[in-house]
């Protein structure tokens, strides 16, 4: 049988298979290990609340003896840290800066600092170079390293096997929820907010006593996140409950301010944690420049050694609440904190809620305490063993001395003591190493008295290791001590969402009366009423004329109708005031219309009232009436395509409010007709072709003007009146037009 020839498509697939396989292998061998390394070893915090860079730095400082003593130059610390973290001095110093007291990024800083370390809320205040600043570990770090020298955690070799470092730090409190943490890895990120230390300790104690404690009960204890910069949280219990359950969600924060009546200045003293002073000032000044914040005369950053302070100087009679509503709505004075509690547990990333994180920390801490107690127990057993050997020589000290004196060789002293008193190797070595001044009955009796206490302590430790409840009460006692020693009142205030006043829709617009004008050539003007009442004539291009004119105010929207079946929406406030002697804005350019697209009509509206209508008359003489409700949508679209029929170009449009209006229609052939708008039938489909309104000649006939400006037609307009449609219109030879 002849072999079937492969098609071109099959040959292409076969040729592509090696390439696809090569890409897959490259991803598996190179990219995936890199991605996992970034997730596990760099960007996502472990259950102790630290990323590797934090842990390496703090452990280096601990080994340098900086838990006590004086501060030393930061450059020295950075250099020593490179033994564990070979990523360059700049990145190590950046890590160090964030952990300092001066940087104000943490509720409980781990590094006591001296010098300029910048502020986490200001990008324009960078830290000084490491050679100028000094640091040491803060007092709270005692809780990070408690038990680290008692085998509480595992140690691993550093990157070049010259020393070892801890895998985790045996923190005595759930630091994972105390220190805010942000990390972006490959395909995963972590964003953990900070909570109040006292509340977290109380919530952890509640879970230690009852692991089935509900989320609602935890919400009563751990009320909400707490940030070093204070500010306010717009509190929604249901929203917060979701974050506590899933570790995912967001909440809003607001800045705190004070009004200085004497200086007529608003002083911002606390801002949301995720905001920056620079962004707030830049946006506020931009709003002032654009006229959206006319009540403000100046914005200054007066932050100093006493803390954050943004001064917003107000003009005379400016409303404080109105200014703050504008700033909350448009700047980072109100900002979201997005929570994404991704945590590494045993080297695997998990998204956990607050309760689950605390339960995982309890497991971790129980193991740390168990290892510490086991370490201490072993030391006490060894000590007891030595003291029991010491008591054996108590009744015959002279014999011990005699054995030592009569032993010829030094290496035989220990074996001879073992034979003489029935001691083991360690006990005999201990006795042999006693100083000569201590070989007396008083010393040995005093040491022997420790035996009963040691045995009691050993028994208690053994009981604690066997009893999980006792083990947990050791942790509870430690948490109570931490709370008493380091606990602070909440800094972040909670306000109910019902207390927050929603800003008005037109809050950014200064409202004033104005006159709107559109010409046939597409030029649009917004005039103040004073300018409109002036004697100046409107500057128009040769042959251009006004097709729309209306007295209104600055709050509404303007709908621009084009000859391409499209409607463009803009705000009246988007246009600057101008004089009658100016040409105005050319709408096709300002609104970025399509090529060869021209404005035919415009109308200012506050809302799309379904009882009001637009009447469209096309060049082919057909027309229809469409309800404004047909253009209603969930969001205000800048451009509405397919707004009306495009079978024939739009000759003109008019707006019909609560009552019918008069419409004048003119054809190229020099005929016109005047009708009432209720003659034009309404269509439910906005793109319908309409019905014939004006009868036109088959050759060259088309409508060239549609207007409701009847006064501009002339005194003989009444001669064109028609009571029925369609109509051929009346000859206009003797009529006078203003356009």
CA distance 155 to 170: 12
The stretch 726-733 carries a mean pLDDT of 82
Q: Confirm if 73 and 113 have CB atoms less than 8 A apart.
A: no
The rounded radius of gyration (Å) of the Cα atoms in the chain is 42
Q: What is the structure's pLDDT at 589? A: 92
Give CA separation, 407 vs 373, 411, 435, in Å. Answer: 41, 9, 17
Model confidence pLDDT, tens digit, residues 395-440: 788 888 888 888 888 888 889 888 888 889 998 888 888 877 777 7
Q: Which sequence spans correspond to the domains of the chain?
A: 50-169, 256-332, 359-486, 513-731
Residue 8 in this model has a pLDDT that exceeds 70: no
Options 3.50.50.60, 3.30.70.270, 3.30.1360.40, 3.30.2130.10; which CATH number does 256-332 get? 3.30.1360.40
CA distance 380 to 143: 23
Residue 12 in this model has a pLDDT that exceeds 80: no
**Cβ atoms < 10 Å from Cβ of 662:** 16
The residue among 338 and 711 whose pLDDT is bigger is: 338
Q: What is the structure's pLDDT at 291? A: 77
The stretch 1-30 carries a mean pLDDT of 59
Q: What is the structure's pLDDT at 1? A: 44
Model confidence pLDDT, tens digit, residues 271-316: 999 999 999 999 999 988 877 888 899 999 999 888 899 999 998 8
Q: What is the structure's pLDDT at 647? A: 87
Residue 470 in this model has a pLDDT that exceeds 90: yes
The stretch 144-159 carries a mean pLDDT of 94
Quick one: pLDDT band at residue 211, thresholds 50, 70, 90?
Answer: very high
Quick one: pLDDT band at residue 545, thresholds 50, 70, 90?
Answer: confident
Q: What is the structure's pLDDT at 5? A: 53
Q: Confirm if 188 and 342 have CB atoms less than 8 A apart.
A: yes
Burial zone of 27 (CB within 10 Å; 0-12 exposed, 13-18 middle, 19+ buried)? exposed
The stretch 43-65 carries a mean pLDDT of 94
The stretch 358-381 carries a mean pLDDT of 96
Quick one: pLDDT band at residue 188, thresholds 50, 70, 90?
Answer: confident
**Cβ atoms < 10 Å from Cβ of 463:** 10
Residue 145 in 3-state DSSP? coil
Cite the DSSP H helix spans in 222-353: 237-246, 277-290, 320-330
Residue 20 in this model has a pLDDT that exceeds 70: no
Residue 737 in this model has a pLDDT that exceeds 80: no
359-486 in CATH: which number? 1.10.268.10
Model confidence pLDDT, tens digit, residues 254-271: 999 999 999 999 999 999
Q: What is the structure's pLDDT at 735? A: 56
Termini Cα distance of the chain: 87
CA distance 98 to 70: 20
What amino acid positions are annotated as catalytic residues? Answer: 132
Closest by CA to 674, choosing from 665, 661, 684, 683, is: 665
Model confidence pLDDT, tens digit, residues 586-608: 999 999 898 889 999 999 998 88
Residue 72 in this model has a pLDDT that exceeds 60: yes
The residue among 236 and 5 whose pLDDT is bigger is: 236
CA distance 468 to 474: 10
Q: What is the structure's pLDDT at 506? A: 65
Give CA separation, 19 vs 6, 14, 28, 123, 308, in Å. Answer: 20, 10, 14, 46, 58
Q: What is the structure's pLDDT at 93? A: 95
50-169 in CATH: which number? 3.90.199.10
Residue 733 in this model has a pLDDT that exceeds 90: no
CA distance 451 to 430: 16
CA distance 57 to 64: 11
Write down the residue that tokens 């057993």 correspond to.
381
Give the tokens for residue 99. 């952990």
Q: Confirm if 616 and 628 have CB atoms less than 8 A apart.
A: no
Model confidence pLDDT, tens digit, residues 648-682: 889 999 999 989 999 999 888 788 889 999 999 99
Helix (H) or strand (E) holding 299: strand 296-301
- pTM comes to 0.72
* Dihedral, 409, 410, 412, 415 alpha carbons, nearest 10: 170
Which positions ≥6 away from 652 have C-beta within 8 Å?
Answer: 547, 600, 601, 617, 665, 703, 705, 706, 707
Give the tokens for residue 203. 């919530």
CA distance 532 to 515: 7
Q: Is the peptide bond before 322 cis (omega within 30 degrees of 0)?
A: no
Residue 371 in this model has a pLDDT that exceeds 60: yes
Residue 110 in this model has a pLDDT that exceeds 90: yes
- What is the second-level CATH architecture of the domain 513-731? 6 Propeller (2.120)
Ramachandran area for residue 584 (φ above 0: left; ψ -120 to 50: alpha; else beta): left
What percent of the chain has pLDDT above 90?
A: 55
161-173: string of b/e by CB count within 10 Å (b at 16+)?
eeeebbebbbbbb
Closest by CA to 208, choosing from 406, 387, 470, 402, is: 470
Residue 166 in this model has a pLDDT that exceeds 80: yes
Quick one: pLDDT band at residue 2, thresholds 50, 70, 90?
Answer: very low
């Amino acid at each position: 049988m002849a072999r079937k020839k492969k098609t071109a498509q099959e040959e292409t697939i076969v040729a592509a298979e090696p390439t696809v396989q090569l890409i897959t292998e490259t991803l598996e061998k190179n990219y995936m290990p890199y991605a996992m390394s970034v997730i596990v070893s760099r960007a996502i915090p472990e259950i102790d609340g630290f990323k590797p860079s934090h842990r390496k730095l703090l452990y280096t400082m601990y080994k340098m003896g900086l838990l006590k003593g004086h501060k030393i130059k930061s450059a020295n610390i950075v250099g020593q840290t490179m033994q564990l973290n070979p990523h360059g001095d700049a990145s190590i110093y950046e890590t160090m800066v964030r952990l300092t007291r001066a940087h104000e990024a943490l509720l409980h800083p781990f590094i006591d600092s001296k010098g300029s370390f910048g502020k986490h809320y200001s990008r324009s205040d960078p830290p000084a170079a490491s050679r100028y600043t000094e640091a040491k570990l803060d007092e709270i770090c005692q809780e990070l390293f408690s038990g680290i020298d008692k085998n509480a955690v595992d140690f691993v070799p550093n990157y070049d096997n010259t020393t070892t470092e801890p895998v985790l730090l045996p923190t005595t409190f759930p630091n994972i929820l105390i220190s805010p943490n942000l990390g972006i890895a490959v395909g995963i990120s972590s964003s953990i907010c900070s909570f109040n230390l006292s509340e977290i300790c109380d919530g952890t104690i509640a879970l230690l006593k009852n692991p089935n404690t509900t989320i609602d009960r935890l919400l009563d204890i751990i009320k909400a996140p707490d940030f070093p910069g204070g500010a306010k949280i717009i509190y929604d219990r249901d929203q917060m409950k979701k974050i506590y359950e899933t570790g995912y969600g967001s909440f809003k924060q607001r800045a705190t301010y004070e009004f200085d009546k004497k200086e007529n200045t608003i002083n911002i003293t606390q801002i949301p944690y995720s905001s920056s002073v620079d962004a707030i000032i830049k946006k506020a000044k931009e709003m002032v420049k654009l006229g959206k914040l006319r009540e403000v005369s100046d914005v200054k950053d007066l932050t100093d050694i006493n803390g954050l302070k943004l001064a917003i100087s107000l003009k005379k009679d400016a409303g404080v609440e109105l200014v703050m509503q504008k700033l909350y709505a448009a700047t980072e004075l109100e900002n979201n904190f997005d929570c994404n509690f991704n945590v590494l547990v045993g080297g695997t990333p998990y998204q956990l809620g607050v309760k689950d994180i605390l339960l995982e920390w309890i497991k971790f801490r129980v193991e740390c305490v168990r290892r510490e107690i086991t370490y201490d127990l072993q030391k006490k057993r060894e000590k007891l063993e030595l003291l029991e050997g010491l008591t054996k020589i108590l009744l015959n000290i002279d014999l011990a001395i005699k054995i030592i004196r009569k032993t010829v060789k030094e290496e035989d002293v220990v074996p001879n003591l073992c034979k003489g008193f029935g001691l083991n190797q360690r006990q005999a070595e201990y006795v042999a190493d006693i100083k000569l001044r201590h070989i007396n009955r008083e010393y040995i009796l005093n040491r022997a008295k420790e035996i009963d206490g040691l045995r009691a302590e050993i028994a208690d430790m053994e009981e604690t290791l066997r009893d999980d409840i006792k083990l947990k009460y050791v942790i509870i006692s430690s948490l109570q001590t931490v709370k008493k020693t380091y606990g602070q009142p909440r800094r972040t205030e909670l306000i109910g969402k019902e207390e927050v006043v929603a800003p008005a829709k037109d809050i950014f617009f200064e409202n004033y009366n104005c006159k709107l004008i559109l010409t046939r050539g597409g030029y649009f003007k917004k005039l103040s009423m004073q300018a409109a009442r002036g004697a100046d004539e409107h500057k128009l291009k040769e042959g251009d004329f006004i097709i729309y004119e209306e007295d209104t105010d600055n709050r509404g929207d303007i709908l621009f109708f084009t000859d391409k079946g499209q409607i463009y929406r803009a705000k009246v406030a988007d246009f600057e005031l101008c004089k009658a002697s100016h040409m105005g804005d050319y709408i096709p350019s300002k609104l970025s219309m399509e090529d060869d697209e021209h404005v035919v009509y415009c109308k200012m509206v506050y809302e799309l009232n379904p009882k009001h209508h637009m009447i469209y008359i096309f060049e082919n003489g057909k027309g229809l009436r469409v309800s404004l409700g047909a253009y209603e949508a969930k969001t205000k679209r800048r451009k509405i395509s397919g707004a009306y029929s495009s079978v024939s170009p739009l000759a003109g449009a008019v707006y019909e409010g609560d009552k019918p209006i008069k419409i004048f229609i003119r054809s190229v052939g020099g005929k016109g007709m005047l009708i009432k708008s209720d003659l034009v039938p309404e269509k439910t489909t906005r793109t319908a072709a309409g019905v014939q309104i004006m009868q036109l000649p088959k050759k060259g006939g088309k409508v060239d003007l549609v207007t409701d400006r009847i006064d501009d037609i002339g005194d003989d307009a009444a001669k064109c009146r028609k009571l029925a449609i369609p109509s051929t219109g009346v000859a206009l030879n003797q009529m006078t037009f203003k356009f």
